[in-house]
Amino acid sequence: MRRLKPRDTGAAVTSVNECTMTIRPYPDPRNQNLIYYDLPGVGTSNFPREQYLTEIRKQTTDNIEFHEFDFFFIVSCGRFTEDDVWLATQIMNRNKTFYFIRTKLDVDLNNTKEDDPDTYNEEEVIKGIRRACEDELKKMAKNDRWDVGKSEFKIFLLNARFDGYDKWDFPKMIKSLLGDWPKLKRQAIICSITNNSEIVIREKARFLRGEIWKMACCSGAIGAIPLPGTSIAGDLYIMYQCYGYYKKAFGLDDESLTTLANTHNITKAAIDAYVSSTVWAGLFVTGQTATFLLVEAAEEGTKQVTQKAASELAKTALRFIPFIGNGVAAAISFSATYHRLYYLINKMEEAAIAVLHFVTKKSMDSV
C-alpha cells in the first residue's frame, strides 16, 4: 500500500516471529499526514485483552486512544481467533470500519499444489479458504453474541509479498477501501494509494468524477463576479490545481512513474519514451497552462474553442445585467468547468491504464 519493498527505507519490519513488540507509525511516502500504525496482536502474553487498549494509548507517541484511529485491518496468516473477533467487536462498538485480512495465500496455494498436483484447482482452493474464514468467524461471532446478520464480514485473501500486489483480493480490497475510508479524509487515500490494477484506477476515476461539482461550483461563483477577465483567470487557476491533483492521483507525475518503473524493474526512460509517443502525451507537458490548452483543443476542436471564446465574451456582457446576468454567467462557468474536468479525468484514466499495461508487459517481456 505504501509502494515500499521490504528493504526500502521506511519499510515496516517483517519477521517469522512476533516482531511487533512496540507500536510504530509508518507515514505514507507521498503524504506524511497519512500514517499507518502497526499494532501488536491481541491475546499474546505481552498484550492480553485486559490491557490491550490501554497499552495502545501508552505506547503511541501522542497517546492515541483506540477510537481515534480511522480504519482497522485485522491481519492473520492462518486461522482467525476469538481474540480477532473480540478486537473486531471493540472496533464496531466505536463505530469504526475494519477488514479481516487473510495473508500468505500464495503459501497455502503452493502447499496444496505440492500435496495433490493432479487434482489441484486454484479457484476451488481459494473458495474453500474463503468459506472456511467466513464459517469460523461467524461461529465465533455468534458465541460472542455478535449479530452477524447486521454486519457483513469483509474478508480479503492476500499475498503478503511485494510482488503480489496485483493478485487475488488486493485490487478488490483497495477498491472497497476507497469507498469505506472516512469521507473527510478520503482525498488523502485517493492520492496515496497505489495504482496497482485497472480496477483501482477506474475506481479512482469514478470517485474523482463525483467530486467535480465542487470545483464547478467554485467556477460558477467566480463567473458571477462582474469584472472582465475574472472568469477566465479563475477557470485557469482551477484547472491548474485540478490538473496537478489528478496527475498525482492517477500516478502520472514523475515521482509516481519512477516508483512504477522500479516496481516493475524497468527504466523510467522506457516509460517516458512510451508516453511521449502516445495520444496522451499532452497530459505529461510540464507547463500547466499548455496542458490546459491542449486538452481544450482536443476536446472541443478548433470550431468549438472559437465558440468558447464567444461564450466568454457573452458572459462578460451578461455580468453587467443585474441579478439575471450574474446567474446566467455563473451557470455558463459551472457547465464549462464541469465538462473540462470530466474530460480531463477521462483522459488521465485512459493514460494511467495504458501506462500500467505497458509496464506490466515490458516487465513480463524482460523475464
Predicted local distance difference test score (pLDDT) of residue 17: 56
Mean pLDDT is highest, among 140-144, 238-242, 311-315, for: 238-242
Predicted local distance difference test score (pLDDT) of residue 73: 92
Give the residue ranges of DSSP H helices in the chain. Answer: 49-59, 82-93, 105-115, 122-143, 170-180, 186-192, 198-210, 212-223, 230-249, 254-263, 268-276, 288-318, 324-365
Residue 156 main-chain phi, psi, to 5 deg? -125, 130
Torsion on CA atoms 85, 91, 95, 100, rounded to nearest 10:
-60
Distance of alpha carbon 84 from alpha carbon 80, whole angstroms = 6
Q: Is 339 helix (H, G, I), strand (E, B) or coil?
A: helix
Q: Which residue has the higher pLDDT, 365 or 54?
A: 54
Distance of alpha carbon 64 from alpha carbon 56, whole angstroms = 7
Query: Angle CA(228)–CA(232)–CA(238) in degrees, nearest 5?
Result: 140
| Spatial CB neighbours of 140, under 8 Å, sequence gap ≥ 6 | 80, 81, 82, 84, 85
pLDDT-derived band at 309, boundaries 50, 70, 90: very low
Predicted local distance difference test score (pLDDT) of residue 72: 93
Predicted local distance difference test score (pLDDT) of residue 144: 63
Q: How far from the centroid of its chain's Cα atoms is residue 289's Cα? A: 27
Predicted local distance difference test score (pLDDT) of residue 106: 85
Can you tell me the mean pLDDT for 332-356?
85
Ranges 143-147, 217-221, 291-295: which has the least confidence? 291-295
Ranges 136-145, 158-167, 202-211, 316-325: which has the least confidence? 316-325
Residue 82's Cβ-count burial label (10 Å; 0-12, 13-18, 19+) is middle
pLDDT-derived band at 143, boundaries 50, 70, 90: low
Distance of alpha carbon 337 from alpha carbon 220, whole angstroms = 8
Q: Domains, the chain, ranges and CATH? A: 24-194 (3.40.50.300), 209-365 (no CATH)
DSSP tag of 27:
E
Cell, residue 270: 522506457
Distance of alpha carbon 140 from alpha carbon 146, whole angstroms = 9
Can you tell me the mean pLDDT for 249-269?
83
Distance of alpha carbon 250 from alpha carbon 247, whole angstroms = 5
pLDDT, one tens digit per residue, over 273-300 is: 888 777 677 666 554 444 544 455 445 4
Distance of alpha carbon 246 from alpha carbon 32, whole angstroms = 19
pLDDT, one tens digit per residue, over 53-105 is: 888 888 887 888 888 898 999 988 878 888 888 888 888 888 888 899 988 88
Can you tell me the mean pLDDT for 141-152?
62
Q: At what angle do helices 49-59 and 82-93 cross, to 10 degrees?
A: 60
Instruction: Please say whether the dihedral angle defined by the alpha carbons of residues 295, 298, 302 and 306, taken in this order, is positive or negative.
Output: negative
Q: Which residue has the higher pLDDT, 9 or 295?
A: 9
pLDDT-derived band at 23, boundaries 50, 70, 90: confident
Q: Which residue has the higher pLDDT, 127 or 311?
A: 127
Q: What is the 3-state secondary structure (H, E, C) of 222-258?
A: HHCCCCCCHHHHHHHHHHHHHHHHHHHHCCCCHHHHH
Q: Which residue has the higher pLDDT, 364 or 130?
A: 130
- Please state, in angstroms and as integers, the Cα–Cα distance from residue 12 to each residue in 5, 33, 189, 205, following that order: 9, 17, 19, 30
Judge contact between 226 and 319, C-beta under 8 A: yes
Residue owning grid cell 490501554: 54
Q: What's the full length of the chain, in residues?
A: 367
Predicted local distance difference test score (pLDDT) of residue 360: 82
Give the residue ranges of DSSP H helices in 144-229. Answer: 170-180, 186-192, 198-210, 212-223
Residue 226 has pLDDT above 70, yes or no: no
Amino acid occupying residue 107: V
Cell, residue 8: 526500502
Predicted local distance difference test score (pLDDT) of residue 321: 52
Judge contact between 131 and 143, C-beta under 8 A: no
Predicted local distance difference test score (pLDDT) of residue 298: 43
Judge contact between 48 and 7, C-beta under 8 A: no
